[in-house]
């Protein structure tokens, strides 16, 4: 039988989680107080959202409260503490710099400040973290190039991947705009992870693979609507970072039991389980594993296989991966 205590003992990585959505309530209230910024809602309703569009606006609000290097290091350190509490051994975490208003034009400062928090965490025995830098779907090709140029020039050891996220229903089918940048990233050995098949249909997943050369798809569950695409994802072994709790919380799936994750798994697709935006969406990884297992009648072996996929699909170096497997 499966409970959270057992899940916590299973070696696993989390590979689809946004730091932007992982600033906890206490920290948000502390920062809002420090800067005299009114809460956007009463504290107990801070995390009530009416879908993805409003949720992304909340991320702008929350991340804009992180203004100094100490603020950012604190957010990073507290994140590592929560990852440890779910028994996570390694995390690929996403930040989307467009949400972090105080750091506009200073990506180097933000990455260094977060890095300091994670280095302290690692020294304290907390799990280590790789950083994926994300574009918003609405951004321009020039902005995408600028982010990649910075990544290549700085070659920061904390930064592991180029990412793209945001609301595809608002931005439209725009992957072609980013194709040159993502191809250049691939040619320079930079990993790519792409949000698709959440607020877009299977065509978004198709574009993520064909145009953005995605090493991993964030969400991707709407691939289920196109059987040939599911077969291709399974054949090519492209992992999907599935987040059932997030999909329910933001209204993309009706319930956990109605999530296509089981059908995808049965079709041979490699899947991991993740929280997406842990504190903001109320998702905790040990609970995600346990609740999803209960919804589909999975046994321990099924969760062990999923945890293994999470480690295999992480963008950590091979030494760390071998140590975790
Ligand atoms: N950024 C943070 N969470 C996201 C989600 N669920 N979809 C798209 N972009 C996001
Ligand atoms: Zn996400």
Q: What is the dihedral of CA 17, 19, 21, 23, to 10 degrees?
A: 130
Q: Which residues of 275-297 are buried (b: 16+ CB within 10 A; e: fewer)?
A: bbbbbbbebbbbebbbbbbebbe
Which residue, by CA, sits nearest to atom 8 of ligand 1?
166
Percentages helix, strand, coil for the chain, rounded to the nearest 5? 55, 15, 30
> What is the number of the ligand closest to the CA of 219?
2
55 Cα to the center of ligand 1, angstroms: 8
Mean pLDDT rounded to a whole number for the chain? 98
Q: 0.90 exceeded by the pTM?
A: yes
Domain 4-315 has CATH 3.40.50.720: no
Instruction: Map tokens 């994750």 to a residue.
Output: 261
Cα first-last separation, the chain: 22
Tell me: the pLDDT tens digits for 196-243?
A: 999 999 999 999 999 999 999 999 999 999 999 999 999 999 999 999
Chain segment 140-194, per-residue pLDDT in tens: 999 999 999 999 999 999 999 999 999 999 999 999 999 999 999 999 999 999 9
What pLDDT, on the 0 to 100 scale, is given for residue 145?
98
- Cα–ligand 2 centroid distance for 166 (angstroms): 8
Per-residue pLDDT, averaged over 271-281, amounts to 98
For Cα atoms 269, 243, 294, give the angle at the middle one, nearest 5 degrees: 85
Is pLDDT above 90 for 1? Answer: no
Q: In the structure, how many helices (H) and strands (E) does the chain have?
A: 16, 8
Is the distance from CB of 248 to CB of 275 less than 8 angstroms? no
Which strand ranges, in their side-by-side order, compose the sheet holding 271-273? 12-18, 88-95, 128-136, 159-165, 191-196, 216-219, 240-242, 271-273
User: In testing the pocket of ligand 1, which one of 15, 17, 18, 200 has its CB within 8 Å of the most ligand atoms?
Assistant: 18
Q: pLDDT tens, 42-73?
A: 999 999 999 999 999 999 999 999 999 999 99
Q: What is the mean pLDDT of residues 281-290?
A: 98
Q: Which ligand is nearest to the CA of 242?
A: 2
Nearest CA to ligand 1 atom 10: 166
> Among the atoms of ligand 1, which is closest to the Cα of residue 168?
8
Question: Contact 122/128 with Cβ under 8 angstroms?
Answer: yes
Which-ligand-closest: CA of 14? 2
Using CA atoms, how far apart are residues 149 and 156, in angstroms rounded to an integer?
12
Q: Where does ligand 1 bind, in terms of residues with CB under 6 Å? A: 18, 21, 52, 165-166, 195, 198, 246, 276-277
Q: Are strands 12-18 and 216-219 parallel, antiparallel or unpaired?
A: unpaired
Residue 217, beta-bridge partner list:
194, 240
CA-nearest residue for atom 6, ligand 1, is: 276
Local confidence band at 285 (pLDDT 50, 70, 90 cut-offs): very high
Domain residue ranges of the chain, discontinuous segments joined by +? 4-315
Q: For residues 233 and 144, what is the distance between their CA atoms, to the nearest angstrom?
A: 26
């Amino acid at each position: 039988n499966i409970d959270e205590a057992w899940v916590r003992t299973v070696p696993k990585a989390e590979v689809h989680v946004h730091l932007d959505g992982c600033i906890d309530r206490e920290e948000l209230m502390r920062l809002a107080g420090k800067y005299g910024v009114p809460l956007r809602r009463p504290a107990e309703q801070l995390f009530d959202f009416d879908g993805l569009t409003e949720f992304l606006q909340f991320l702008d609000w929350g991340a804009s409260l992180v203004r100094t290097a100490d603020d950012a290091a604190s957010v990073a350190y507290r994140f590592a503490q929560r990852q440890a509490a779910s028994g996570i051994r390694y995390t690929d975490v996403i930040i989307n710099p467009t949400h972090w208003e105080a750091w506009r034009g200073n990506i180097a400062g933000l990455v260094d400040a977060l890095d300091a928090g994670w280095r302290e965490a690692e020294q304290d025995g907390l799990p280590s973290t790789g950083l994926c830098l994300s574009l918003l779907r609405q951004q321009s090709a020039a902005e995408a190039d600028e982010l990649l140029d910075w990544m290549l020039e700085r070659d920061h050891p904390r930064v592991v991947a180029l990412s793209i996220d945001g609301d595809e229903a608002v931005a439209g089918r725009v992957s072609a705009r980013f194709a040159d940048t993502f191809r250049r990233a691939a040619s320079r050995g930079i990993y790519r992870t792409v949000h698709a098949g959440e607020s877009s249909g299977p065509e978004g997943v198709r574009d993520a693979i064909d145009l953005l050369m995605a090493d991993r798809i964030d969400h991707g569950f709407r691939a289920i609507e196109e059987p040939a695409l599911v077969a291709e994802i399974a054949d090519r072994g492209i992992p999907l970072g599935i987040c059932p709790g997030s999909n329910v919380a933001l209204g993309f799936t009706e319930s956990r039991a109605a999530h296509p994750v089981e059908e995808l798994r049965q079709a041979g697709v490699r899947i991991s389980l993740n929280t997406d935006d842990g504190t903001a969406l109320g998702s905790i990884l040990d609970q995600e594993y346990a609740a999803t297992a209960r919804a589909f009648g999975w046994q321990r072996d099924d969760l062990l296989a999923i945890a293994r996929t999470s480690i295999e699909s992480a963008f950590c170096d091979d030494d760390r991966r071998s140590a975790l497997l």
